[in-house]
A and B are shown apart, each in its own frame.
Chain A
């Protein structure tokens, strides 16, 4: 059974600081996703990572994938308040596109 773990679950950080959210998964997978969810809102796709060593960046967010370690990271650079949200990683198995989600990381950026 595929399991996905994220840490930390909660993260408060000051504006301008850097931090990393970690996503570990239990079995080999062909695709890893990062989503953002604002309070009371639905999920917004941020990144799709398809291969070992993949790195994608959008603004202050950068995601990477190490398939050998079964680890993805979401790095936040020089955080700003509007990055406050809950971030989820999700993994799909080979041949089946249903997603198994991590527990989510609630990120709060403090001025």
Chain B
């Protein structure tokens, strides 16, 4: 079956621009997660959506980062006024409740 998909696969942007990253989770998965992976920081949790509950935003590094999940399915991660330190691979994952998370291929973000 279809796995988690993310778009775009690569994004190059200029410092100060806003970017939107999209995640399509596996159908029927109630939980959706965003992580980022960078050389300096490893794999970091960003935000977690579970069903209709309020999202856990505890991992968002600044108020320039936000995410939403529409209709319990597709999610968009938005980074405003991008900085060079935002350069990383942004990974989305989804899971049924209390199960292993399935990761998408990631979006490689480069901020020039």
To the question of whether A and B form a pair in one complex, the answer is yes
Interface of A: prevailing SS: strand
Q: Indicate if the CB atoms of B95 and A97 lie closer than 8 Å.
A: yes
Nearest-Cβ distance from residue A19 to partner chain B, whole angstroms: 22
- Choose from A42, A45, A104 the contact partner of B104 (Cβ within 8 Å): A42
Tell yes or no: A103 within 8 A of B by CB.
Answer: yes
Q: Indicate if the CB atoms of A99 and B105 lie closer than 8 Å.
A: no
Q: Indicate if the CB atoms of A97 and B100 lie closer than 8 Å.
A: no
8 Å CB contacts to B: which residues of A61-111?
A: 88, 90, 96-101, 103-104
Q: Indicate if the CB atoms of A99 and B106 lie closer than 8 Å.
A: no
Q: Indicate if the CB atoms of B106 and A42 lie closer than 8 Å.
A: yes
| Neighbouring A residues of B101 by C-beta, 8 Å | 33, 45, 97, 99
The total of chain B residues at the interface (CB under 8 A) is 25
The total of chain A residues at the interface (CB under 8 A) is 19
| Neighbouring A residues of B48 by C-beta, 8 Å | 96-98
Tell yes or no: A54 within 8 A of B by CB.
Answer: no
A-side residues, CB < 8 A to B, are 31, 33, 35, 41-45, 48, 88, 90, 96-101, 103-104
The 16 listed contacts between A and B (C-beta, < 8 Å) are: A31-B98, A41-B105, A42-B104, A43-B91, A45-B100, A45-B102, A45-B103, A48-B99, A88-B43, A97-B48, A97-B98, A97-B101, A98-B33, A99-B45, A101-B35, A101-B44
